């Protein structure tokens, strides 16, 4: 099983001509409200890929619709707790080019307690995968707890990689980052150089640096590969990375090779960027034939 300890957000999405600049007011031509949060999106992506997924996280009273969204997608929601703080939410602007600009309020996503997380991990072990992002509090601590249980641990340190301790990197089975996060973590803006540094720091882990429309690069120890994304017309890149992560973790948890998992993740993410929205834009596509 995949246990995803991750954020649950309500997304407020505004279509604008140009992204708002400091001191400026812009009018939005279209507003939609939907389910989002990197955690929730990745659980939905993994479930749409066909994996057995449980989501763990916290919502406020105003977040019950998020639990329902996950349940409808086939995700186990028994580890989602209602707490007194408000549900996390995001204010998202999308411009004519499909570029986005996002403000996130963490709310209940930052209220995770060690006793609660320990309870969520009860009964899980080496056959299970723990997936984490950086939209909950203390993700490194939950990496350690997963490791202690012998789980396979995957970290997507998004939206900000900041300073992930080397000890955390060493403990990972897989790390997926976009170009910005790769640069933050490795202190170099050259993706191939970043991959070299990250594979040196986490020699046992699969490391993937996603490169937007250019696809991604993968490394493990001294091995390297490059994977190209299909050429498509992107209208909204929200949740592209989440789709990629969810499909990759699902594919590898279901026993696909890394190369097949990347291929599937790239196809799913390419469909996602051609649709508007976060969770709603995540496609369900069959596994590629090996
Ligand atoms: P994030 O969404 O986390 O910033 P990226 O922008 O690197 O991450 O996108 C993640 C993945 O989504 C890419 O590796 C690629 O497979 C796919 N993707 C993103 N943008 C496009 C695009 N314009 N065309 C095709 N695929 C895309």
Residue nearest to atom 1 of ligand 1 (CA): 241
What pLDDT digit, counting tens, does each position of 202-251 carry?
999 999 999 999 999 999 999 999 999 999 999 988 899 999 999 999 99
Q: For ligand 1, pick from 213, 232, 282, 285 the residue to mutate: most ligand atoms within 8 Å of CB.
A: 213
- 221 near 211, Cβ under 8 Å? no
Q: Going by CA atoms, what residue is nearest to atom 2 of ligand 1?
A: 241
Judge if the beta carbon of residue 273 lies within 6 A of ligand 1.
yes
C-alpha 195, offset from chain centre: 19
| pLDDT digits 0-9 by tens, 244-287 | 999 999 999 999 999 999 999 999 999 999 998 888 899 999 88
Question: Is a pLDDT exceeding 80 seen at residue 290?
Answer: no
- Which residue's alpha carbon is nearest to atom 10 within ligand 1? 241
Span from the CA of 260 to the centroid of ligand 1 (angstroms): 17
Report which ligand 1 atom has the smallest distance to the Cα of 232: 24
Sheet holding 30-36, edge to edge: 30-36, 9-15, 88-94, 100-105
B/e letters for 140-156, b = 16+ CB within 10 Å, e = fewer, are: bebbebbbebebbbbbb
pTM of the model: 0.94
Contact 162, 133 (CB under 8 A): no
Residue 234 CB less than 6 A away from ligand 1: yes
- d(CA 210, ligand 1 centre) in Å: 7
């Amino acid at each position: 099983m995949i246990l995803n300890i991750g954020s649950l957000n309500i997304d407020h999405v505004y279509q604008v001509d140009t992204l708002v600049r400091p001191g400026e007011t812009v009018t939005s031509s279209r507003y939609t409200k939907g389910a989002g949060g990197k955690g929730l999106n990745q659980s939905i992506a993994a479930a749409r890929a066909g994996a057995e997924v449980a989501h763990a996280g916290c919502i406020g009273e105003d977040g019950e619709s998020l639990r329902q969204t996950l349940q409808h997608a086939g995700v186990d929601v028994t580890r989602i707790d209602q707490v007194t703080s408000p549900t996390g939410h995001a204010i998202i602007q999308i411009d004519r080019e499909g570029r986005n600009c996002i403000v996130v309020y963490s709310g209940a996503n930052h209220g995770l307690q060690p006793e609660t997380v320990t309870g969520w991990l009860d009964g899980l072990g080496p056959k299970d995968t723990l997936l984490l992002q950086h939209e909950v509090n203390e993700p490194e601590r939950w990496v350690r707890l997963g490791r202690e249980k012998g789980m396979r641990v995957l970290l997507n340190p998004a939206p900000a990689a900041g300073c992930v301790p080397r000890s955390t990197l060493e403990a990972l089975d897989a790390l997926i980052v976009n170009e910005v996060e790769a640069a933050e973590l490795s202190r170099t803006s050259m993706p191939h150089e970043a991959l070299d540094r990250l594979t040196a720091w986490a020699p046992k882990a699969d490391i993937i640096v996603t490169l937007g429309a250019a696809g991604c690069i993968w490394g493990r120890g001294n091995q390297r590969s490059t994977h190209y994304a299909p050429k498509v017309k992107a209208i909204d890149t929200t949740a592209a990375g989440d789709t990629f992560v969810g499909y990759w973790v699902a594919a590898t948890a279901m026993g696909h090779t890394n190369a097949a998992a990347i291929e599937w993740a790239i196809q799913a993410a390419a469909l996602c960027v051609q649709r508007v929205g976060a969770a709603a834009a995540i496609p369900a596509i069959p596994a590629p034939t090996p």
